[in-house]
Amino acid sequence: MATFTRDSWSKHFKDLDQSKIKDDQLRRQVHFLQSLGTAALSDEEFKKLNSHLLSMQTTYSTAKVCPFSKQQCNLETEGLNLDPGIEEVITTSQNYEELTYIWKAWHDASGKKMRADYKEYVTLSNKAARENHFEDMGAMWQGTYEVDEFQTVIDQLWQEVQPLYAALHKYTLNKLRTRYPNEIPAEATMIPGHILGNMWGQTWINLYDLLVPYPDASSYDVTGALQKQAFDAKKMFQYADDFYQSMGLLSNEMCYGPKAMIEKPADREVTCHASAWDFCDGQDFRIKMCTKINQDDFRTIHHEMGHIQYYQQYAHLPYVLRDGANPGFHEAIGDTIALSVDTPKHLETVNLLDNYSDTKESRVNALMKMALEKVAFLPFGLLVDMWRWDVFAGRVPETQWNKHWWDLKAKYQLLSPPIERTEDDFDPGAKYHVPADSKYISYFVAHILEFQFYRALCIEAGQYKPDDPNSEPLHTCDFYKSKAAGAKLAAGLALGSSVHWTQTLLAMTNGTEMSGKALTEYFDPLYDFLLEANGDKTPSAAGTAPYLAVSLLAPLTMLLLVR
């Protein structure tokens, strides 16, 4: 495949001068086709690179650990896989010692074993990047966003949302201190990274019962209603398809038809992670998912259909331009729809929620649940690729790779390792996307964009009027059945990657810059609650300043933790 790509490039694209191509769309196609990626390596180097990638991915996918109750076990017959065994422990246990054990065991079984492979991967990846006229692979990855000083743009976005994260972190730390008073001292400013209900601390939704602002106020989970109304997988997909069609968008029916897999097969093992597939003929689009009848999967179906809608809307374009406007757009589309679907207003409209008391307290509860997924994720969405950019660029020596990982975890997530970490460890490798060579900053970008898209569609639907003091808050908006919102969305999706993403953003939001302001506007009522709960009466005293001070001291702190 590498040889074919190189030969085609040399024969058809190598000597083309983009500046002499007058047609904008053709020039853009040539721009994409002139990038060889890792195929720029020789056949032998390409083979070596893929060998190291396969080795790391095999290590990750086959890693097992012994249970806490039997730490000397037969791994083959008694060992726990990441999903569901290890994940079940990390998401449900409140035993600090058990959580520490399972966290360490997973990191030992996965990341620690792939450091040598990763070193060779970095060397070969950087060589490929230089063959593509980039300084290193991190610069090549950033180049896909077609923005000068992309890291500066990301830093600015983070500064916009950081105060909200800091307030959520402080509130969560205080609550966790009541659960683990002996393990988290009163003077602690960081949360141990293994007690947030997720192996990487990237989502805190499993702590909702501990963190719920108003336990006696209404909350909502439509799992019971779905099951009571005898929903099956197909009916859940039909409801999601109805949402898109209600906005005047294209039918997604083919994606859950006979060729799709929307239930777990009984006759074979499959990867159940939900995914959407474009078979590139302009007609065949499918979802692969082992659907469970619950609210999470109801939301996920709407999200995956966002990919399907995007595929269909840009199917008329030349193949090279059938992609998201930038790497964050595809994930953002489905999440935008999910924000509308997950409102009590919408769930009541489709008869999945009744007897819900819409009060200030219940709204703050709903926002907390959303923030534990969306806001809690933001710093992790940043730091995975920030670490890799620094590694690729040689800004951190190989002898300090693991230390640098925890420096970034401390600076952005305000998390500390549960136990001492050294350079014998390789904790980045314990996250799937690192051994899988899968870029991660797109998830951060998507989280920013989805709130921009949502706000714009809510305004277009007449559901939100930011200049009207009597308008309902942004987070209550549901643009179901709004043809105007659908037309605005379709106008952006149909462009694919045929124009610079700023032009697509203009079509969808009437602006050309990514901004975190829509996200913070969405969570304003929760932010007010957090400030009061944390004892910070005004935004200027919101706990942000002392947390920033901790961030600046993080490298010194980590020197004590990592040797």
Q: How far apart are CA 113 and CA 125, in angstroms?
A: 20
* pLDDT value, residue 53: 94
* pLDDT value, residue 11: 47
Q: Where are the alpha helices (DSSP H) in 180-294?
A: 208-211, 223-228, 233-246
Which among 561, 536, 311 has a CA at the least distance from the CA of 425?
A: 561
* pLDDT value, residue 558: 33
State the binding site for chloride. 145
* pLDDT value, residue 43: 87
Which tokens is 299 given? 């939301």
Q: How far apart are CA 82 and CA 111, in angstroms?
A: 13
User: Omega before 84 cis (within 30°)?
Assistant: yes
Q: Which residue has the tokens 């209900």?
A: 197
Compute CA 483 distance to the chain's CA centroid, rounded to the nearest angstrom.
Answer: 29
* pLDDT value, residue 354: 81
State the binding site. 145, 303, 307, 331
Task: Identify the active-site residue in 373, 423, 433, 521.
Answer: 433
Residue 105 one-letter amino acid: A
C-alpha distances out from residue 313 to 114, 123, 332, 431, Å: 41, 39, 15, 33
Which tokens is 12 given? 């058809």
* pLDDT value, residue 230: 94
Note down pLDDT in tens along the chain; length 563 residues: 555 555 554 445 556 666 777 777 777 787 777 777 888 888 899 999 999 999 999 898 888 889 888 888 888 888 888 877 888 899 999 999 999 999 999 999 999 999 999 999 999 999 999 988 899 999 999 999 999 899 999 999 999 999 999 999 999 999 999 999 999 998 899 999 999 999 999 999 999 999 999 998 877 788 999 999 999 999 999 999 999 999 999 999 999 999 999 988 888 767 677 889 999 898 999 999 989 999 889 999 999 999 999 999 999 999 889 999 999 999 999 999 999 999 989 999 999 988 888 899 999 999 999 999 999 999 999 999 999 999 999 999 999 999 999 999 999 999 999 999 999 999 999 998 999 888 999 999 999 999 999 999 999 999 999 988 888 999 999 999 999 999 999 999 999 999 999 999 999 999 999 999 999 999 999 999 999 999 986 644 333 333 333 333 333 333 333 33
* pLDDT value, residue 6: 53
Q: How far apart are CA 419 and CA 66, in angstroms?
A: 19
Q: How far apart are CA 380 and CA 396, in angstroms?
A: 19
Percent helix, percent strand, percent coil in the chain, to nearest 5: 60, 5, 35
Q: What is the dihedral of CA 431, 432, 436, 438, to 10 degrees?
A: -80
Q: By the 8 A CB rule, do 458 and 476 touch?
A: no
How is residue 358 annotated by DSSP? Answer: -
Q: Where are the alpha helices (DSSP H) in 222-294?
A: 223-228, 233-246
* pLDDT value, residue 546: 36
Counting Cα atoms < 13 Å in the Cβ hemisphere of 117 gives 25
Task: Identify the active-site residue in 52, 169, 304, 460.
Answer: 304
Q: By the 8 A CB rule, do 380 and 413 touch?
A: yes
Which tokens is 45 given? 């180097």
Mark whether 304 is an active-site residue.
yes
State the binding site for Zn(2+). 303, 307, 331
Q: How far apart are CA 129 and CA 108, in angstroms?
A: 31
Residue 226 one-letter amino acid: L
* pLDDT value, residue 562: 35
Three-state secondary-structure class, residue 214? coil
For the chain, report the end-to-end CA distance as a whole number of angstroms: 43
* pLDDT value, residue 18: 66
Residue 488 has phi, psi (to 5 degrees) of -65, -40
Output the 3-class SS for 429-466: HHCCCCCCCCCCHHHHHHHHHHHHHHHHHHHHCCCCCC
* pLDDT value, residue 339: 94
Three-state secondary-structure class, residue 51? helix
How is residue 219 annotated by DSSP? Answer: -
Q: Which residues contact 18 (CB under 8 A, 6 or more apart)?
A: 27, 30, 31, 34
